[in-house]
Structure 1
Amino acid sequence: MKYLLFILTMCFSFNSKAQDVVFGKISTKELKEKLYPLDSTADAAYLYKSKDVSYEFTGSEGWYLITKVHERIKIYNKKGFDYANKTIKLFNRGGKDEKVTNLKAYTFFIDEKGEVSKLKLSKKEVFEEEKTDYWSIKKITMPGIKEGVIIDLTYQKKSPYYQYIDKITIQENIPVKKISIKVNIPEYFTFKSYQKGYYPISLQKSNKNRIINYSYRQKNCTTCATTSRYNEKVNLLESSIEINEENLPSLKDTEPYCGNINNYRAGLEFELSSIKFPNTKYSNYTGSWNSVCKTIYKSSNFGSELEKSSYYKKDLQNILSYAKNDYEKTALIFQFVKTKIKWNTYYAKYTDKGVKKAYKEGVGNAAEINLILTSMLRNAGLDTNPVLVSTRNNGIPLFPTLDGFNYVISKVNFSDGKYILLDATEIYTTPNTLPIRALNWYGREVLKNGESKQVKLTPSSLTKETNSLFVKIDELGGVTGIFRKSLTGHSAMFYRQKNNVKKEEDIITSTEEKLGIEIETFKVLNTKKINKPIMQTIKFTGEDFIEEINNKLYFNPAFFLATKENPFKSEERKFPIDFGMPWQNNFSVSISIPDGYIIESYPKELAISLPENIGVFKYKILTKDNKISLLSVTQFNSSIISPSYYPTIKEFYTQLVQKQTEKIVLIKK
């Protein structure tokens, strides 16, 4: 029995060690794989993903944070080539920079002889790029990338900003075969940890003793130039969080209406609560959104910039001479700022070169443009405040933190209780029609005293697309018609952003290809008059809409306006449907059928109401003599829909597609 127990113990020990992943030692079996065994659709997969976070201390540098990373990725096809590029974000400020050390990487492949070969990452394939005054990125491009290779990469990031532990992403856009996360935090630092995402992750928490050895130099006396080296040892308690998971499914951003998919991927985030070093006072870091906003407001690159006004006084006086009321003041100032200062595409909550310089040069970041807008509106006598925003690509902050916001817009409050949100970075925005990047749940309005309050960013009113189609069918099955489209809100803004930079002939060509028609005349109104709806009129002909079988004519009464495919194809969905804004799409079709024909059959009326007033679909056909009228409305009142409603929404679209693709049958009299 003792012998058997010994053998089992040795086997267990051997198997545990065999499962350890060692950098540079890959599996030939995995290298030869053509498809990922658990997901044949995967373009690539993390064979191993490891992150080890710990604290180190030296007598010369003090505390710093060490993050050790090891990633092993298998690339199955060309679509997975993007995973051969790695970007590491580094924070740099005040001479204290985050640094990458011990960077090593190989690309493994099967050579012409059928043997395992590898290419080493060289220095010329690693370069650093400065993005802002505070951030830079280190870019890595792996060598010898082709289908079937395995990338093995490891590095260490050293950060003097020990108060901030990077977000840890556990679930990815591709499958993860094995993941190992370790976070070890000394007793001097207290962090709150937050799990996010819908995939269940098991955390193992424990405490352990640790000894830190360090040395330092000190003068032997107050007047002596000589120093001596001293060695010290500190015993402390360390809290540990570990995650060890296998076979995590991908959470892809290819699903329709997913917003920022990173909001819903399994992950772990940390918030510093307090610091208490030996023989020092307790420091509390737990904050509220109010305290975060006050900190931002007190910055010389934020609040102080709002107080400056001399640089635009003459221009403001000229603008106000044309305004009769507060709404006109707002509209004129808003339009002036949009045309005066061009956005340099940088998101920011702080100014970079400052409002005066941005105004003079006519170029600025988001903070400079919208703080100028806010300041001008205030000096025009309007109750206006900046609103801090986390853009969609920045995610939804789980707790109050300075990094939670990366953008600024403006809010005007009127005496009748109404308010409007403004963003002057985009020439085609209108009041309460923010760029899609800013439509991320809630922002924080910062008042003049630094206090703040929550503001809903998504619009309350529907963005609308209204289509009218007048069609005449001849005896040979040819179609002539007039198509009118009206766009308001975000639909109009999207149209202008997409088409105002194109030539008319290019718009006509793409429209003909999309709708399957030949355009005779084309006219669009209000492309530059952004306070009015886009009005498009097309006169067209078509030959492929009517099908003749056994002297009967078959056609879809919605023609090219029908939704022909259900956008929701997955069996289940673990994250919300994000439309960005509430919307309505409605169309009416008036059809004249040829003489000598009567209607044999046509689609029946259908109305679907979704629960909780989420949305509706209505479809109705009326017939009289040789005229057919179709009315269809699709409307969603909620911009964000819980995944619990996904089966209902999917079935909603299944019925919608079936109804909008049903055909009318005409027979000869």
Structure 2
Amino acid sequence: MKLTFLLSILFFIITAEIYADIPFRFGRISVSEMDLEYYREKFPGEPAIVIGDIADCRFGYDFHKGFQFNLDRKIRIIILTEAGLDYGNFSIPYYGSTGRQEEISRFRAHVFNIEDGRVRRTRVRESEGFIQERQNNWKELSFALPEIKVGSVIEVRYRIISDFLFQLRDWRFQREIPVLHSDYSLNLPSFFIYYGRYNGLVELDIREQEDSQDRWRISHRGLATNIMARSTIFRWAAFNIPPMKPEPFTDNIRNYQARIFFELTREQWPDQEPKHYSTTWEDVYNYLANHRNFGLFLNEKPSVLWKYLPENLPDTPEESIWTALEIIHENVRWNNNASFYTNHTPQEVLNNGAGNSAEVNLLLVAMLRNLGLQSYPVAVSTVSNGSLFSDMPTITQWNYVVALVKLPDGEHVLLDATVPRPVPGYLPPRAINGRGRALDKSYNEWVNLESNIEFTKQNIYNLALNENGDITGTFEMLVGNFGKYKYIQEITSRGEESFWNQLFNQPDIQLSNKSIEFEIMDKNPIKLKANIHIPSYVARIGNEFIIPAIFFETISENVFQSKERQFPVTFDNTLNSVSIFNLELGDNMKFTHIPEKKSRRWGRLSYELFAEETDNGIKITWLNHRRIRTIPAQNYSGFRSFYSRMVEDNLKNIIVKID
């Protein structure tokens, strides 16, 4: 179910005539409310249950700071198993920027346990928390709540006071554990118009709206002034919400859990022209162009980069791109902070030699422009940040920036200088998440972030089998396109030895005479070569060896165990893989069974397995092609069936008899 609405005078919503009591009284609980067996019987296998999660958000006015919103929240959770103990680690996210930050107040937390048939309460104070830095100007006040054990009930209450009206909190109704009662109220004055969107498969039990007339006392031109304005009180609630848990190849489970998101589009004051923020994409650009931590950073003193330019400027756009990447990468390293906004000036970032993703890649855009290229910043929401809620203009959903170059032939090239070895045209997996938005006065367009994600691989194994079941030989691996890019990043960041150790994920494989060959600036694949030895690899039964048909590349189990799935299967990349196994037998060996040819196709996925005898052995060819990255939920059943057949065919064996 998806609902789109505008929180303004034009808002329309159906009110459900459903009312429910708040599910718990903060600070008090009875033994009967902590009946562990009741919850375990009702929710078998669940690690914990959210008994209630309640929030009320209201706007207020401070004569020194202006309008603010106050979010009051309280939550209660019961721990059912050892796996649920992690819910005793509780964090409160809060936002800060340009020397200001949100305030946390009215904090109280309790841990309840039953001892000797009575409820024992442990109080937790705000001073017991510790601050953790997060990304994109967010921090967390975190608590490791004490006395947590199976059967504990924890509850937390706090207030967020925020000047950052752009950061009006979204609300998650659904989680990875069952939620018995989730309730969100919002009292919104008509001065502020938000775009809102509900996303999820959960039907809300309560959707209410009530209008009121409020008096506001504000400062206008230095004088206190009273104004009357309409406010709208919204309430959304859902009960007995089933959990939605991540499954294999899930990009971000929060993309699919039921929640409401808000985006400030404009301010509308009496007798004044509206102030637009994100009504249109042009509004978004205008806002960011004049933001000190975005557009003003990008355009501040381009001369700070001039001293880094080479004496002899590159002759072609392609050479200029490489030059810009190398200059920025050599002088500014990523500090692992994914951010849409900068925290320092360009000169400070260059002096520090490190910066967040916005600082690194906005400097890259500036350097590309200094080299005469048409370059633009591209706003991105990373995989961990979540997918965009819609195509509507947005300022708050971004948490990352990459660079784009528009070539003379109209083609564009995406760039990211935060990685260990930047390569034009490729983005790290964290940034490959649907679409981004190029934000410039002359180029304000959607950009496909998934246009260059094909992982191509060709493996050739020349192997020999001896009477002890040992496998010895050589292998050569050619990896191209996005695969080459990923391998280069792994080799650079982990080192060659660590890279080799994880390449096969087989502890008994012994590699020697290893070599890695690649030229980062050409399009040829990376080449990996080594001698390979696996002692006692092949199972022997009597006088026969049982050999997996595709050896150590066998897919031995179907990770897609669920019969149904409510959200898509998402892979990191598309795939074009070919593996060839040439197996030579000893003089006293012969094949008694060779797998039949298997070939299947499902939509844009296909595989093929075939074997043919050679003069002194056998040649096995395994082809695996996946030309799409995402399998929609409605196609999951067919995909799962296809994958099951692939696993089944993977498990075919070769049988060799020893005379």
User: In structure 2, what is the equivalent of residue 108 of structure 1?
Assistant: 112
Deviation for aligned residue 1:170: 1.1
Deviation for aligned residue 1:662: 0.8
> What CA deviation, in whole Å up to 9, does each residue of 1:269-307 have, x standing for no partner?
123455545566655555122321232123343334434
Q: 1:574 to 1:273 in 2, by over 3 A?
A: same
User: In structure 2, what is the equivalent of residue 10 of structure 1?
Assistant: none
> What CA deviation, in whole Å up to 9, does each residue of 1:38-78 have, x standing for no partner?
44332222121112223345788764322221111122344
Give the residue type in structure 2 aligned to 1:243.
A
Q: CA contact under 8 A between 2:107 and 2:126: conserved in structure 1? A: no
1:295 alignment partner, one of 250, 265, 287: 287
Deviation for aligned residue 1:506: 5.4
The equivalences for 1:23-38 within 5 A come to 23-29=26-32, 31-33=34-36, 36-38=40-42
Q: Which piece of structure 1 moves more, 343-352 or 25-34?
A: 25-34
Give the residue type in structure 1 aligned to 2:180.
K
User: In structure 1, what is the equivalent of residue 647 of structure 2?
Assistant: 657
Q: 1:318 to 1:204 in 2, by over 3 A?
A: same
Q: 1:251 to 1:429 in 2, by over 3 A?
A: farther
1:542 pairs with 2:534? yes
For residues 305 and 286 of structure 1, the distance between their equivalents in structure 2, rounded to whole angstroms, comes to 21
2:428 alignment partner, one of 413, 435, 439: 435
Percent identity for Structure 1 against Structure 2? 24
1:455 pairs with 2:464? no
Q: 1:274 to 1:330 in 2, by over 3 A?
A: closer
Q: CA contact under 8 A between 1:463 and 1:491: conserved in structure 2? A: yes
The equivalences for 1:443-522 within 5 A come to 443-447=436-440, 449=441, 451-460=443-452, 462-502=454-494, 514-522=505-513
| TM-score where L is the length of structure 2 | 0.87
> What CA deviation, in whole Å up to 9, does each residue of 1:459-515 have, x standing for no partner?
335122322222212234332222322333443444444454556665566568x32
Q: 1:316 to 1:662 in 2, by over 3 A?
A: same
1:156 pairs with 2:159? yes
For residues 374 and 215 of structure 1, the distance between their equivalents in structure 2, rounded to whole angstroms, comes to 45
For residues 626 and 130 of structure 1, the distance between their equivalents in structure 2, rounded to whole angstroms, comes to 62
For residues 521 and 147 of structure 2, the distance between their equivalents in structure 1, rounded to whole angstroms, comes to 50
For residues 377 and 538 of structure 1, the distance between their equivalents in structure 2, rounded to whole angstroms, comes to 40
For residues 260 and 148 of structure 1, the distance between their equivalents in structure 2, rounded to whole angstroms, comes to 30
Deviation for aligned residue 1:617: 1.6
Deviation for aligned residue 1:452: 0.6
> What CA deviation, in whole Å up to 9, does each residue of 1:216-240 have, x standing for no partner?
999xxx9xxxx9x99x896855342
Give the residue type in structure 2 aligned to 1:547.
A
Give the residue type in structure 1 aligned to 2:91.
T
Q: 1:490 to 1:163 in 2, by over 3 A?
A: closer
Greater C-alpha Rg? 1
What's the Cα RMSD here? 3.3
Q: How many residues align?
A: 635
For residues 191 and 343 of structure 2, the distance between their equivalents in structure 1, rounded to whole angstroms, comes to 35
User: In structure 1, what is the equivalent of residue 13 of structure 2?
Assistant: none
User: In structure 2, what is the equivalent of residue 66 of structure 1?
Assistant: 70
For residues 651 and 184 of structure 1, the distance between their equivalents in structure 2, rounded to whole angstroms, comes to 49
Give the residue type in structure 2 aligned to 1:665.
I
Q: 1:30 to 1:597 in 2, by over 3 A?
A: farther
Give the residue type in structure 1 aligned to 2:175.
E
Q: 1:487 to 1:36 in 2, by over 3 A?
A: farther
Q: 1:239 to 1:273 in 2, by over 3 A?
A: farther
> What CA deviation, in whole Å up to 9, does each residue of 1:402-448 have, x standing for no partner?
2122222111222233321111111223112211111111111233x
User: In structure 2, what is the equivalent of residue 564 of structure 1?
Assistant: 556
Give the residue type in structure 2 aligned to 1:326.
P
Q: CA contact under 8 A between 1:201 and 1:266: conserved in structure 2? A: no
Q: CA contact under 8 A between 1:297 and 1:450: conserved in structure 2? A: no
User: In structure 2, what is the equivalent of residue 351 of structure 1?
Assistant: 342
Q: Where does the alignment leave 5 or more consecutive residues of structure 1 unmatched?
A: 1-15
Give the residue type in structure 1 aligned to 2:162.
S
| TM-score where L is the length of structure 1 | 0.86
For residues 192 and 294 of structure 2, the distance between their equivalents in structure 1, rounded to whole angstroms, comes to 30
User: In structure 1, what is the equivalent of residue 208 of structure 2?
Assistant: 205
For residues 405 and 266 of structure 1, the distance between their equivalents in structure 2, rounded to whole angstroms, comes to 20
> What CA deviation, in whole Å up to 9, does each residue of 1:106-152 have, x standing for no partner?
011123x3432121002431244566895443223322223331111
User: In structure 2, what is the equivalent of residue 406 of structure 1?
Assistant: 399
User: In structure 1, what is the equivalent of residue 187 of structure 2?
Assistant: 184
For residues 36 and 178 of structure 1, the distance between their equivalents in structure 2, rounded to whole angstroms, comes to 17
1:325 pairs with 2:316? yes
For residues 481 and 642 of structure 2, the distance between their equivalents in structure 1, rounded to whole angstroms, comes to 25
User: In structure 1, what is the equivalent of residue 239 of structure 2?
Assistant: 245
1:165 pairs with 2:168? yes
Q: CA contact under 8 A between 1:519 and 1:538: conserved in structure 2? A: no
Q: Which piece of structure 1 moves more, 380-389 or 125-134?
A: 125-134
Deviation for aligned residue 1:154: 1.2
Q: Which piece of structure 1 moves more, 576-585 or 84-93?
A: 84-93
For residues 388 and 586 of structure 1, the distance between their equivalents in structure 2, rounded to whole angstroms, comes to 36
